[in-house]
């Protein structure tokens, strides 16, 4: 046994292409969750860019226009999930198997819509986990790549349940004040425990915080410590464990 690494990048921002270059440089893969457009205003990659990205990485759906499903009625939720999938498949010319809930905001009924729409798995924003969970349509993560303060981890821990399973991760998150040291501490725990380390982020945030160097160094550390066969897309991770 050894540590498994997966990563996912949300929102389809054009700077995802820079992330893809870094991943490829270090022999890593990942999953990019792309809406067709973003109702909040940020740009989304052009269809040609999405197709180019799909040659090497997994592309998943992120609703039609980055809609927080919990904030809309069930009819709109159905449209967001199904239309986002359809248009992304039209762009790619192939099936889209993965889905990610924007903002991690969803209801049980939204999960059922995702299942009925033909997705094979879905990812949440639940953090501090070192496994894939037991629900293929509510897969958790380990940590978001962002300089959060400790209160953010406490809030996510409190509202997301599975406290016994997640308490070790919370301990490491609270121990480290610096967000980059926190990232390595969580990864090192996953390595020692032969767990799954799932990193996720928005590439726009990396650009805004000028954190490309930190990301590059962390990818180098990951590639040194994770066997090639355990560097998985979210879809490959779901296939392996569900």
Can you give the pLDDT at residue 1? Answer: 65
Average pLDDT over the chain reads: 96
pLDDT one-digit tens code per residue, 109-122: 999 999 999 999 99
Q: Which of 93, 133, 104, 139 is nearest to 120 (CA)?
A: 139
Q: Report the C-alpha gap between 139 and 132 in whole angstroms.
A: 6
pLDDT one-digit tens code per residue, 121-137: 999 999 999 999 999 99
Can you give the pLDDT at residue 219? Answer: 98
- Give the contacts of 42 (CB within 8 A, at least 6 positions apart): 11, 13, 204
Mean pLDDT of 100-105: 97
Report the predicted TM-score, pTM, of the whole model to 2 decimal places.
0.97
CA distances to 17, 91, 203, 212, 216 from 21, in Å: 6, 21, 12, 11, 10
Domains of the chain and any CATH numbers: 4-241 (3.20.20.370)
Give the phi and the psi of residue 13 in degrees, each rounded to 5: -65, 145
Can you give the pLDDT at residue 177? Answer: 87
Q: Does residue 62 sit in helix, strand or coil?
A: coil
Q: Report the C-alpha gap between 64 and 44 in whole angstroms.
A: 11
For the chain, percent of residues with pLDDT exceeding 90 = 97
CA distances to 57, 103, 104, 125, 179 from 159, in Å: 32, 14, 12, 11, 21
Sign of CA dihedral 98, 204, 128, 108: negative
Is the per-residue pLDDT at 60 higher than 80?
A: yes
Give the phi and the psi of residue 16 in degrees, each rounded to 5: -60, -30
């Amino acid at each position: 046994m050894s540590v498994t690494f997966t990563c996912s990048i949300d929102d389809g921002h054009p700077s995802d292409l820079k992330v893809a270059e870094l991943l490829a440089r270090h022999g890593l893969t990942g999953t990019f969750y792309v809406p067709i457009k973003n109702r909040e205003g940020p740009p989304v990659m052009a269809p040609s860019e999405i197709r180019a990205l799909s040659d090497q990485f997994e592309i998943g759906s992120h609703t039609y226009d980055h809609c927080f499903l919990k904030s809309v009625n069930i009819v709109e939720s159905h449209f967001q999930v199904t239309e986002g999938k359809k248009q992304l498949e039209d762009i790619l010319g192939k099936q889209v198997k993965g889905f990610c809930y924007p903002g991690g905001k969803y209801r049980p009924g939204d999960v059922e819509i995702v299942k009925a729409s033909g997705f094979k798995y879905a990812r949440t924003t639940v953090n501090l986990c070192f496994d894939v969970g037991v629900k293929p349509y509510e897969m958790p993560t380990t940590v978001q790549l962002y300089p959060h303060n400790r209160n953010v981890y406490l809030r996510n821990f409190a509202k997301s349940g599975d406290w016994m399973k997640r308490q070790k991760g919370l301990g490491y998150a609270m121990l480290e004040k610096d967000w980059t040291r926190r990232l390595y501490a969580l990864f090192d725990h996953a390595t020692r425990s032969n767990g799954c380390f799932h990193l996720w982020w928005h590439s726009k945030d990396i650009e805004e915080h000028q954190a490309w160097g930190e990301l590059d160094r962390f990818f180098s550390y990951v590639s040194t410590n994770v066997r090639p066969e355990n560097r998985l897309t979210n879809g490959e991770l779901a296939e392996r464990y569900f």
